[in-house]
């Protein structure tokens, strides 16, 4: 039973059979609230790290705050700015818990994961509202993401009964050969804040199902949701030390976790974020022969061919470019339109762009997107916007930040309350421009003309990334040639670049990742290694390839030429 540490409030994480007797709401009971005067009347939470099942502050008591990007005056809570010592304590707890957790039968581990899924279902509405408040996603998108975390739990619950090895026939008599999946050890988990519930579940659920333990560095801009999710994991029955949560900055707690690879304290790093940081993590892991999973950026292409249903293509391109305010690694980057339908497509596309409803989904209904994920993401987007302008492309639509003096027709609310951006469209983009190659994380799309299919495929492959891709065509040969010719980890035919189901492999190639995959049965390879066992039953030494009886071939007594 895990309790608070030091001056933290006393909280009990209920286990196993006690789940049926829940008397305390996991998202409310035991939370310590700060004194504040949020304009919406919502309380701010005193947040904690969770290390070995205990709630802890930073060793030097330093903190940071999480704020609502749609209403910057709304503080969600205050959280530990974790130190190197805090990360070390979390790693030590994970190492101490590893042996017992790895020895726990896989079906039992799966049952705890199933409990997590059921608790997520029970608290889905509250979690959806919390996610929308903390990072500004629409309620519909937050709902889809929490559902993906649920789906991941339910999928891997049953995988606990299918963590199969194989029985292999030996070439020698009285000998048996087996293969087993074994856990790697302690996994460092670092995820971005644009998918703060689905992605950590993509990573940690298969990790713990395989018998690993984890230290999870929460996204700096989504600490309260991470805290709630970690508490749900403990309430589901996860033993103390199996999942440890530390908060802080990427340059702080995140870097300390990566540094620990050099100290021999981490057996796996799973990272979702920028390509630059991913390369740094890959270097550290490579020199230590430590496994890493890297899910990085994208400049995802979407091709529209003359045979496409234009209305369908416009819907897919519009959502891919501006859903989540363009803050997905799978967001549409380069929209590649065949020149024969360019004018007709652009007329329909720009009509939708100009009608975009933007606002706080907690207040206004039917908005396409809300604010940027945080003020930091807003500043980074402005850098990308200026780069696009300097590239030489034609800036067709968008005026930067939404303000009281500069707001689209369908912006809802008070622009000064949060960090909202116009949708931006750049046309006349060519392959030699910087904005064609560089990911711009926000509501901006670059549009390129293609002369024919071969040119379109060339353009789709010309960026340094290879995450998601799409084509709209009703020519089946074009669809076939695209899916076989594209260099990307994922491809949609007559659908958007964004979107993935919880049982499909997710990840990219080139600058988008190192070939590992999230989700589905394929992710198990990333969190386990194969152990080959040979069991000698003969009572004597038998050496493969040396003690195998030779088979003599007998010459046939048939004159084959007579049968010709």
Q: Are 278 and 294 in contact (CB under 8 A)?
A: yes
Q: At 397, list the tokens.
A: 């639509």
Q: Biggest alpha carbon distance in the chain?
A: 102
Active site (annotated) includes residue 285: no
Q: How far apart are CA 283 and CA 272, in angstroms?
A: 15
Show the CA angle centred on residue 171, arms to residues 165 and 174, nearest 5°: 85
Q: Are 368 and 400 in contact (CB under 8 A)?
A: no
Q: Are 88 and 260 in contact (CB under 8 A)?
A: yes
Count of C-beta atoms within a 10 Å radius of residue 473: 24
Count of C-beta atoms within a 10 Å radius of residue 527: 27
Count of C-beta atoms within a 10 Å radius of residue 33: 12
Show the CA angle centred on residue 108, arms to residues 107 and 110, nearest 5°: 60
Q: How far apart are CA 200 and CA 207, in angstroms?
A: 10
Counting other chains too, the contacts that 501-509 makes at CB distance below 8 Å and 24 or more residues apart are 501/151, 502/148, 502/151, 502/152, 502/155, 503/151, 503/155, 506/202, 506/295, 507/295, 507/467, 508/295, 508/296, 508/298, 508/465, 508/466, 508/467, 508/468, 509/466
Strands (E) across 257-413 are located at 268-272, 291-295, 300-304, 332-338, 394-397
Q: Are 523 and 206 in contact (CB under 8 A)?
A: yes
Residue in 75, 187, 329, 435 annotated catalytic: 329
Show the CA angle centred on residue 282, arms to residues 279 and 283, nearest 5°: 90
Paired strand residues for 472: 304
Q: How far apart are CA 457 and CA 451, in angstroms?
A: 11
Q: How far apart are CA 420 and CA 71, in angstroms?
A: 10
Q: % helix / strand / coil in the chain, to the nearest 5?
A: 35, 20, 40
- 436 closest CA partner among 488, 400, 498, 445: 445
Alpha-helix residue ranges (DSSP H) falling in 42-135: 84-103, 106-122, 124-135
In three-state secondary structure terms, 150 is helix
Dihedral angle computed from the Cα positions of residues 91, 96, 98 and 99, in that order, rounded to the nearest 10 degrees:
160
The residues assigned a catalytic role are: 329
């Amino acid at each position: 039973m895990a309790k608070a540490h030091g001056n933290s409030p006393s909280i009990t994480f209920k286990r196993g059979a006690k789940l049926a007797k829940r008397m305390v709401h996991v998202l409310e009971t035991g939370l310590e609230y700060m004194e504040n005067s949020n304009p919406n009347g919502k309380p701010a939470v005193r947040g904690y790290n969770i290390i070995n099942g205990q709630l802890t502050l930073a060793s030097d008591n330093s903190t940071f705050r999480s704020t609502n990007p749609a209403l910057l005056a709304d503080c969600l809570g205050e959280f530990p700015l974790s130190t190197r010592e805090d990360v070390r304590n979390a790693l030590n707890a994970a190492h101490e818990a590893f042996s017992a957790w790895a020895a726990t039968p896989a079906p039992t581990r799966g049952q705890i994961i199933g409990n997590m899924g059921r608790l997520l279902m029970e608290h889905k509405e509250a979690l959806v509202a919390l996610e929308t408040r903390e990072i500004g996603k629409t309620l519909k998108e937050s709902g889809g993401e929490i559902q993906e975390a649920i789906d991941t739990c339910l999928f891997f619950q049953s995988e606990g009964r299918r963590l199969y090895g194989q029985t292999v026939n030996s070439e020698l008599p009285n000998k048996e050969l087996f293969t087993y999946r074994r856990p790697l050890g302690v996994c460092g988990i670092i995820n971005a804040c644009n998918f703060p519930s689905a992605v950590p579940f993509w990573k940690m659920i298969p990790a713990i199902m395989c018998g690993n333990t984890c230290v999870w560095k929460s996204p700096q801009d989504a600490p309260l949701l991470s805290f709630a999710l970690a508490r749900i994991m403990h309430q589901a029955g996860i033993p103390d030390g199996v999942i440890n949560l530390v908060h802080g900055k990427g340059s702080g707690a995140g870097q300390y976790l990566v540094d620990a690879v050099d100290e021999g304290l981490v057996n796996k790093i799973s990272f979702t974020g920028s390509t630059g940081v991913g390369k740094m993590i890959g270097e550290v892991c490579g020199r230590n022969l430590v496994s890493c999973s890297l899910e990085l950026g994208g400049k995802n292409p979407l091709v529209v061919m003359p045979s496409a249903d234009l209305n369908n293509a416009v819907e897919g391109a519009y959502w891919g470019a501006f859903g989540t305010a363009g803050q997905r690694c799978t967001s549409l980057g380069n929209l590649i339109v065949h020149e024969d339908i360019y004018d007709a497509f652009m007329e329909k596309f720009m009509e939708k762009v100009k009608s975009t409803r933007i606002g706080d989904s907690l207040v206004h209904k039917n908005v396409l997107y809300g604010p940027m994920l945080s003020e930091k993401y807003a500043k980074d987007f402005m850098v990308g916007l200026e780069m696009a302008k300097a590239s030489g492309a034609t800036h067709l639509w968008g005026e930067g930040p939404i303000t009281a003096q500069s707001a689209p027709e369908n912006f809802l609310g008070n622009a000064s309350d949060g960090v909202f951006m116009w949708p931006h469209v750049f046309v006349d983009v060519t392959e030699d421009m910087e904005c064609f190659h560089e990911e711009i994380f926000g509501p901006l799309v670059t549009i390129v003309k293609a002369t024919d299919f071969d040119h379109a495929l060339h353009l789709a492959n010309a960026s340094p990334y290879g995450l998601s891709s799409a084509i709209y065509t009703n020519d089946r040969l074009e669809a076939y040639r695209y899916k076989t010719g594209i260099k990307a980890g994922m491809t949609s035919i007559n659908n958007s670049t964004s979107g993935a189901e919880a049982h499909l492999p997710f990840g990219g190639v080139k600058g988008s990742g190192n070939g590992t995959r999230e989700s589905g049965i394929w992710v198990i390879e990333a969190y386990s290694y194969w152990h080959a066992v040979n069991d000698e039953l003969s009572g004597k030494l038998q050496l493969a390839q040396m003690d195998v009886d030779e088979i003599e071939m007998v010459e046939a007594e048939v004159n084959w030429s007579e049968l010709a």
